[in-house]
Amino acid sequence: MYETEAVREVVNLVNEETDSWAEVLNRLRRAQGQQAAVSHAPDRAGFKIVAGGIRQCLTERRQGRTPPLGEAELEKLFLTLA
């Protein structure tokens, strides 16, 4: 009976430790996912800004006006994000 209780106690300790490690790993995975989302957000915003600039330049040219940015400036902005 003593051996059985000792074995149960060890098994319980191992299970508790395993659960603790699983919690830690889950938290780390969630944090990693959040960091990835945060790091992609500025990229997406930057691409939207560049796309808006390209759209504005095309509209300005169609209307016979000089666009606020030239092709070289837009290309530089785009490559900065890539």
Q: pLDDT (tens digit, 9 = 90+) per residue, 21-41?
A: 777 778 878 888 888 888 888
The pLDDT, as a whole number, for residue 50 is: 83
Torsion over CA of 71, 77, 80 and 82, rounded to 10 degrees? -70
As given in the structure block, the two tokens for residue 57 are 């330049």
Asked whether the beta carbons of 61 and 55 are under 8 A apart, the reply is no
pLDDT tens, residue by residue, 47-79:
888 888 888 888 888 899 888 878 788 888 878
What is the distance between the alpha carbons of residues 42 and 26, in angstroms, rounded to a whole number?
Answer: 26
pTM: 0.51
